[in-house]
Structure 1
Amino acid sequence: MSERAAPFYCPYCGDEDLRPSEQGHGAWECASCNRAFRLKFLGLLARGVRHDDGGGETI
């Protein structure tokens, strides 16, 4: 099983100086703005992926 992807930038200030937090799984700390945040994958949407090609009839 592969590891989860790490965030590339802070969602608050946009800086890239992030470190994993000791608060647990999915927790990160930004050294630039001194904020901590947690990321969590909630799941896939029930509707799935919808492709809209702009309308028109199909023949």
Structure 2
Amino acid sequence: MSERAAPFYCPYCGDEDLRPGLQGPGTWECAACNRGFRLAFLGLLARGLTGGADR
């Protein structure tokens, strides 16, 4: 994950006080709720951007 891909808020509490984690690339720490999480790009979906009724 590149340095440009940064979360804007914590997925657990919604706070914006985030810092890069020490556990490796893509890890983040929230100072508000004291949780750590990892962001990763999994890849492109096979169905692409066709959309559909399943959304």
TM range (shorter): 0.7 to 0.9
Structure 1, unaligned runs of 5 or more: 53-59
The CA deviation at 1:3 is: 3.6
When residues 12 and 40 of structure 1 are mapped into structure 2, their CA distance, relative to the original with a 3 A threshold, is: same
The CA deviation at 1:5 is: 1.3
- Report Cα offsets for 1:15-38 as digits up to 9, x if no partner: 000000110000000000000000
- Report Cα offsets for 1:22-56 as digits up to 9, x if no partner: 1000000000000000001000001111156xxxx
The residue that corresponds to 2:34 in the other structure is 34
Q: Following superposition, which runs of at least 4 residues in structure 1 exceed 2 angstroms of deviation? A: none
Structure 2, unaligned runs of 5 or more: none
Count of equivalent residues = 51
RMSD: 1.5
The CA deviation at 1:4 is: 3.5
The normalised TM-score by structure 1 is 0.78
Structure 1 residue identity aligned to 2:15: D
